[in-house]
Amino acid sequence: MPKILEVENLNVSFHTYAGEVKAVRGVDFELEAGETLAIVGESGCGKTVTSKAIMRLLPEPMPAEIKKCSKIIFNNKNILDMNNKELMHLRGAEIAMIFQDPMTSLNPTMTVGKQIAESLIIHKNMKKDEAFKEAVNMLKLVNIPNAEQRAKQYPHEFSGGMRQRAMIAIALACNPKILIADEPTTALDVTIQAQIMDLIGELKEKLNTAVILITHDLGVVADTADRIQVMYAGKVIERGSVEQIFKNPKHPYTWALLQSVPRVTEGNKQELYSLPGTPPDLVSPPKGCAFSARCEYCMNVCLEEEPEVTKISGGHTVSCWLQHENAPKVEVPIGISEGVQ
């Protein structure tokens, strides 16, 4: 499959009163046409900052700064070199984003139909009537009943799940090549979560859109993603296919994420796992492995040197000193290799 996006050595900092926060530190990844790449990790690991950097939605040059060494290549052009006119065309037409909270992302003073039609008028040069008809079709596509009537309503008249569907309709209106979904199921109940994820999957197949799915919940990506990359403290610490990450995880942080997913196992009444400690302060990142302070397998080398990237098999790589040939052998915690039930 052709690569449509290449992110190389992405470094993003925020200049604050406390100092320079190094939010994203040397992130690399590729995205192929029609695939779903999941970026997972707990809050503050750099997932959303990475996605907003791709869209150039960060407040640059202050307080946010994308370092000059960074490259974001789309259609053989570096997004970081684009001018405002090029970015206007890119956003919505080529790369679209579903934001985390639809209630604060939708305009409360405009009907939902007008908000969908707006991007069609800008990017497709449609007339207002034609754009509104297409907006109604988009609402039908995302399974909103009574689409023509709903298109004339305001966001506050929609339920949480319907607002999220409206956001998806806006994002897909111009048939973008890449859809970035930033925590698309946050604050939705589990039934609606499943419907939204199924909907994104169906639309991806219909429109051959590549998806970057950002989430803290590995359970959400189990049935939807093709590849997963795990982020911690602004870095990618493990990456691989869904099967590789779920069946053969290698990083202790990935183990912790998998352990924190509830399992529907008969007779299992164990307390849900919670990872102790907090992420490091990225104003002054730790000298060695960023996860060392929270890792029960921490060795002296973890405190002094950043771990090397180790290739496990295929596209499965991990940055952890436990994979070094001289490291002690550690058993994977019980139940992790069984995957999420």
- 4-28 pLDDT, tens digit per residue, is 999 999 999 999 998 999 999 999 9
Q: Is the pLDDT of residue 340 over 50?
A: no
Region 292-305: mean pLDDT is 93
Please name the residues in contact with 221: beta carbons below 8 A apart, sequence gap of 6 or more: 38, 40, 213, 215, 228, 242
Q: What is the pLDDT of residue 222?
A: 84
Average pLDDT of the residues of the chain = 89
Do the beta carbons of residue 262 and residue 271 sit within 8 Å?
no
**Is residue 132 predicted with pLDDT exceeding 90?**
yes
Task: Give the bridge partners for 31, in sequence order.
Answer: 5
Span 295-318, average pLDDT: 93
User: Which pLDDT belongs to residue 325?
Assistant: 87
Residue 233 has a CB neighbour count (10 Å cut-off) of: 23
Residue 225 to residues 21, 54, 241, Cα–Cα distance (Å): 30, 19, 8
* pTM of the predicted model as reported, rounded to 2 decimal places: 0.90
pLDDT at 341: 42
Average pLDDT for 185-199 = 78
For residue 31, pLDDT beyond 80: yes
Q: E strand or H helix at 240, and its extent?
A: strand 235-241
* Conformational region of residue 270, where left means phi above 0, alpha means psi within -120 to 50, and beta covers everything else: beta
pLDDT at 201 over 80: yes
DSSP letter assigned to residue 156: G
DSSP string, 25-82: EEEEEEEETT-EEEEE-STTSSHHHHHHHHHT-S-TTTTEEE-TT-EEEETTEEGGG-
**Res. 101: pLDDT tops 80:** no
pLDDT at 213 over 90: yes
Comparing 190 with 39, the larger pLDDT belongs to: 39
Q: What is the pLDDT of residue 140?
A: 92
Mean local confidence (pLDDT), 56-71: 93
* pLDDT(150) > 90: yes
214-269 pLDDT, tens digit per residue, is: 988 787 888 889 999 999 999 999 999 999 999 999 999 999 998 887 776 645 66
